[in-house]
């Protein structure tokens, strides 16, 4: 079996995230029903209390009736066929009725009344548009749909005050108008980004869950089988193949590149990091966390040289910056290559954990082989070990120690600063 | 846990795994120095077989019906060394099994020579500590120290030993590096295991008190 690259499993992943996106979007819009009922109740109370100032009582009742009808219908729709809530027709109707209520407010009351028809009610429409737009993807228009509707509502409100009623005067009325517009703009501004973050968080969770399930399945099945093949096959090539596949599979499972892809489709760690480090590792794929990267280095080394590697990364190992990850990957590759080529090593252990001395502000990495070893001061500069490893690590402000003795193998130890953006 | 075997001759071993193909394969790989005195395909059966046959060593799969290797270790690790077999090193169950009394674990993809060597050592009472297990235990003690800074942690020397194991050094190499005997290294490892078990027990007691379970 060959492990498909992340891109190959992309389509099925996106189908399932689309489904869970839709569920989240509709449930958020359904939740707006509560808001509508509350603001509608406020409007009814407002009309009852201000009934002495009503000049068009019939129109007021009709409008309130229409708002009640739509609130009730959307509530029922949310309970029975929630997916229909995101249809543009319903969203347009809700925003339209909101605008009508705003304009009519000045007509059904006499002058001295500032506002009592449901001025907060249109905020539900603004929020619904913002949520639905976030669920439909990303474009300049969709990203700002909520805010756009808020601007339209605000503009209509101001125009109706000035043009229709000509009463845009007095500090009280201006104050009330601006606080209303402020509320609408705030809702329009916040709802889109909030919804987008929610969707992203949910996507991350579902991808992580899927991977966990996959990992469990594979542990019990495929890894088990690959282990049987390695142990029971008399054919060394077949055993080597099984080991190689086992390594690939483990690398894949330890890789958080799937999660990274879901979080930020354009946020690949690779190219940018390689440029930044200038380490000339462009041909090597550097995505995912340190664990995944080190496993990939080890798998590659096993393929190229006949040697067994073991990768041990502590679960609480703090992340490195992309540039530092590239540097460590390069240094470790170099150390493993040297172990195989010059040290004739059979086994290499790659280990990483938070550095004990400074409570994890630094990551400690060790590459230890059982090869022939050498006299540290004599040979080391000659084989370029120093230049290629020390160079990479010191560029990142890190430190390198090399310990080796003839017949006792070699250990390369690195200390590299953890990513400071990561909160310990 | 038994402090090694008294008698010479083959190690009497019980093999527990829910896949028959594994048990057959293992039996073939064990060679003349081991004598399989019992087999089991789940934890309950394994405990039963161990009690009946009184082996020198138990080799059990971590994941099996009936509570898996953890249940086996809990039940019999006081009388006989228990070694876990697993396909994955990244599992918390593994730590659980070791805390329950297992002397260590082996990966299922281990080659036959290495398997025999490690099992032989385990039968003599030595902890079978791989690099990954050492890293797992180091992480666990870091976690414990963060949770309870004044609780009983491991000493600096023990930490040093553990990290050297995680870095792929043998007991002999560690002894040389620290100027102590390989036997002393082994004792350090045994103490670390003891502390891990003690910590786990204390944690369970604390949990019970916190949640009002008598």
Shortest Cα distance, chain A CAs vs residue B127, angstroms: 19
A110 has a pLDDT exceeding 70 = no
* B206 at interface of A, judged by CB pairs closer than 8 A: no
* A163 at interface of B, judged by CB pairs closer than 8 A: no
Instruction: Report yes or no: A260 and A287 within 8 Å, Cβ to Cβ.
Output: yes
Q: DSSP string spanning A106-149? A: HHHB-TT----S-SSTHHHHHHHHHHHHHHT---HHHHTHHHHH
Return the CATH class of domain A289-417. alpha beta
Write a three-state SS string for A358-378: CCCCEEEEEEEECCCCCCHHH
Q: DSSP string spanning A273-341? A: HHHHHT-S-TTS---S-HHHHHHHHHHHHHHHSS-EEEEEE-TTPPP--HHHHHHHHHHHHHHHHHHHH
Mean pLDDT of chain A: 77
Instruction: Report yes or no: B72 and B29 within 8 Å, Cβ to Cβ.
Output: no
A228 vs B136: which has the higher pLDDT: B136
- Render pLDDT for A359-369 as a digit per residue (tens, 0 to 9): 768 999 999 99
Closest residue in A to B139 (Cα) is: A314
Of the pLDDT bands very low, low, confident and very high (cuts 50, 70, 90), residue A161 is: confident
* A216 at interface of B, judged by CB pairs closer than 8 A: no
Distance of CA B146 to the CA centre of its chain: 25
Length of chain A: 424
A114 has a pLDDT exceeding 60 = no
What integer pLDDT is reported at residue B161 of this predicted model? 94
Residue A404 main-chain phi, psi, to 5 deg: -160, 150
Between helix A236-254 and helix A290-304 the angle, nearest 10°, is 160
Q: Is A231 close to B138, i.e. CB distance below 8 A?
A: no
Closest residue in B to A356 (Cα) is: B142
Nearest to B132 among A223, A231, A312 (CB): A312
Select the residue from A290, A335, A351, A355 to test the B interface by mutation, using most B Cβ atoms within 10 A.
A351
Shortest Cα distance, chain A CAs vs residue B81, angstroms: 24
A47 vs B14: which has the higher pLDDT: B14
Of the pLDDT bands very low, low, confident and very high (cuts 50, 70, 90), residue A11 is: very low
What integer pLDDT is reported at residue A424 of this predicted model? 44
Least confident residue range of A104-113, A172-181, B144-153: A104-113
Cβ-based neighbour number of residue A91 at 10 Å = 21
A164 vs A43: which has the higher pLDDT: A43
Q: Is B173 close to A219, i.e. CB distance below 8 A?
A: no
- Render pLDDT for B77-105 as a digit per residue (tens, 0 to 9): 989 999 998 887 766 678 888 888 898 88
* A354 at interface of B, judged by CB pairs closer than 8 A: yes
Mean pLDDT of chain B: 86
Q: Is B167 close to A246, i.e. CB distance below 8 A?
A: no
Tell me the three state secondary structure of residue A34: helix
B214 has a pLDDT exceeding 80 = no
A90 has a pLDDT exceeding 80 = yes
A138 vs A156: which has the higher pLDDT: A156
> pTM for this one?
0.61
Q: Is B109 close to A356, i.e. CB distance below 8 A?
A: no
- Interface list for B 30-89 with A (CB within 8 A): 63, 87-88
Which DSSP symbol is given to A54?
B
Of the pLDDT bands very low, low, confident and very high (cuts 50, 70, 90), residue B15 is: very high
Evaluated on CA atoms A40, A46, A47, A53, the torsion sign reads: negative
Least confident residue range of A263-277, A349-363, A371-385, B12-26: A263-277
* B202 at interface of A, judged by CB pairs closer than 8 A: no
- Interface list for A 392-411 with B (CB within 8 A): 408, 411
Least confident residue range of A9-13, A343-347, B42-46, B136-140: A9-13
Range(s) for CATH 3.30.565.10 in chain A?
Answer: 289-417
A321 vs A53: which has the higher pLDDT: A321
The helix or strand, by DSSP H or E, that contains position B149, with its residue range, turns out to be none
Q: Is A227 close to B108, i.e. CB distance below 8 A?
A: yes
A76 has a pLDDT exceeding 60 = yes
Of the pLDDT bands very low, low, confident and very high (cuts 50, 70, 90), residue B51 is: very high
Residues of B in contact with A315 (CB under 8 A): 90, 136, 139
Q: What is the mean pLDDT of residues B180-201?
A: 87
A278 vs B52: which has the higher pLDDT: B52
Select the residue from A349, A350, A403 to test the B interface by mutation, using most B Cβ atoms within 10 A.
A349
Residues of B in contact with A231 (CB under 8 A): 25, 29, 108-112
Select the residue from B137, B167, B170 to test the A interface by mutation, using most A Cβ atoms within 10 A.
B167
Instruction: Report yes or no: A350 and A295 within 8 Å, Cβ to Cβ.
Output: no
Instruction: Report yes or no: A382 and A395 within 8 Å, Cβ to Cβ.
Output: no
What integer pLDDT is reported at residue A416 of this predicted model? 93
Closest residue in B to A227 (Cα) is: B109
Distance of CA B177 to the CA centre of its chain: 25
ipTM of the complex as predicted: 0.83
Instruction: Name residues whose C-beta falls within 8 Å of residue A196's C-beta, 6 or more positions apart in sequence.
Output: A134, A138
* B198 at interface of A, judged by CB pairs closer than 8 A: no
Instruction: Report yes or no: A365 and A332 within 8 Å, Cβ to Cβ.
Output: yes
Most confident of A100-114, A377-391, B172-186: B172-186
Q: B71-103 burial string, b = 16+ CB within 10 Å, else e?
A: bbbbbbbeebbbbbbbbbbbbebbbbbbbbbbb
The ranges assigned to domains in chain B are: 2-210
Q: Is B87 close to A230, i.e. CB distance below 8 A?
A: no
Q: Is A227 close to B25, i.e. CB distance below 8 A?
A: no
Residues of A in contact with B163 (CB under 8 A): 353, 356
Closest residue in B to A247 (Cα) is: B109
Closest residue in A to B168 (Cα) is: A349
Q: Is B108 close to A224, i.e. CB distance below 8 A?
A: yes
Between helix B112-123 and helix B20-30 the angle, nearest 10°, is 80
Q: Is A310 close to B88, i.e. CB distance below 8 A?
A: no
B26 vs A266: which has the higher pLDDT: B26
Topology, domain B2-210: Rossmann fold (3.40.50)
Least confident residue range of A131-135, A238-242, A388-392, B208-212: B208-212
């Amino acid at each position: 079996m060959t492990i498909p690259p992340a891109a190959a499993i992309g389509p099925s992943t996106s189908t399932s995230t689309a489904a869970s996106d839709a569920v989240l979007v509709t449930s958020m819009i359904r939740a707006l029903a509560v808001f509508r009922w509350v603001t509608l109740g406020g409007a009814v109370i407002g009309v009852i209390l201000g009934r002495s100032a009503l000049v068009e009582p019939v129109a007021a009742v009709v409008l309130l009736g229409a708002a009640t009808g739509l609130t009730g219908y959307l509530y029922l729709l949310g309970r029975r066929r929630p997916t229909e809530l995101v249809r543009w027709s319903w969203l347009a109707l809700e925003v339209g009725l909101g605008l009508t209520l705003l304009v009519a407010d000045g007509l059904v009351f006499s002058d001295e009344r500032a506002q009592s028809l449901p001025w907060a009610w249109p905020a539900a429409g603004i929020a619904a548009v913002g949520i639905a737009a976030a669920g439909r993807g990303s474009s300049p228009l969709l990203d700002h749909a909520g805010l756009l509707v808020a601007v339209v509502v605000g503009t209509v409100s101001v125009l109706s005050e000035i043009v229709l009623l000509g009463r845009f005067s007095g500090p009280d009325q201006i104050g009330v108008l601006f606080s209303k517009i402020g509320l609408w703009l705030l809702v329009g501004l916040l709802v889109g980004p909030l919804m987008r973050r929610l969707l992203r968080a949910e996507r991350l969770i579902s991808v992580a869950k899927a991977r966990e399930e996959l990992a469990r399945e594979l542990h019990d099945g495929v890894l088990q089988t690959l282990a049987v093949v390695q142990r029971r096959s008399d054919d060394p090539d077949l055993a080597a193949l099984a080991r190689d596949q086992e390594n690939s599979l483990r690398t894949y499972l330890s890789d958080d590149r799937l999660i990274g892809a879901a979080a930020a489709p354009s946020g690949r760690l690779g190219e940018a990091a390689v440029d930044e480090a200038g380490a000339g590792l462009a041909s090597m794929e550097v995505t995912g966390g340190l664990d995944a990267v080190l496993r990939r280095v080890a798998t590659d080394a096993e393929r190229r040289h006949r040697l067994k590697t073991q990768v041990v990364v502590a679960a609480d190992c703090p992340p490195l910056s992309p540039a530092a990850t590239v540097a460590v990957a390069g240094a470790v590759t170099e150390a493993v290559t040297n172990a195989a080529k010059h040290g004739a090593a059979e086994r290499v252990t790659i280990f990483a954990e938070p550095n004990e001395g400074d409570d994890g502000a630094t990551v400690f990495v060790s590459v230890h082989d059982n090869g022939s070893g050498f006299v540290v001061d004599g040979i080391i500069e000659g084989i370029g070990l120093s230049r290629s490893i020390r160079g990479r690590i010191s560029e990142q402000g890190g430190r390198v120690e090399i310990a080796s003795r003839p017949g006792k193998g070699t250990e390369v130890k690195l200390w590299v600063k953890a990513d400071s953006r990561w909160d310990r | 846990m038994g402090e090694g075997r008294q008698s010479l001759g083959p190690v009497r071993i019980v093999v527990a795994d829910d896949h028959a193909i594994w048990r057959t394969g293992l039996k073939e790989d064990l060679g003349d120095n081991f004598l399989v005195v019992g087999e089991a395909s789940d934890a309950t059966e394994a405990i039963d077989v161990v009690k009946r046959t009184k082996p020198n060593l138990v080799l059990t799969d971590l994941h099996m019906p009936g509570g898996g290797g953890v249940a086996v270790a809990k039940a019999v690790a006081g009388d006989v060394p228990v070694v876990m077999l697993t396909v994955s090193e990244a599992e918390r169950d593994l730590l659980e099994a070791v805390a329950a009394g297992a002397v260590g674990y082996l990966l299922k993809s281990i080659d036959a020579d290495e398997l025999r060597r490690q099992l032989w050592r385990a039968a003599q009472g030595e902890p079978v500590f791989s690099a990954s297990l050492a890293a797992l235990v180091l992480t666990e003690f870091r976690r414990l120290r963060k949770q309870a800074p004044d609780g009983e942690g491991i000493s600096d020397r023990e930490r040093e030993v553990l990290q050297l194991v995680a870095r792929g050094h043998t007991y002999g190499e560690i002894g040389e590096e620290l100027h102590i005997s390989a036997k002393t290294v082994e004792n350090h490892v045994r103490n670390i295991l003891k502390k891990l078990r003690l910590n786990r027990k204390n944690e369970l007691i604390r949990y019970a008190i916190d949640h009002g379970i008598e």
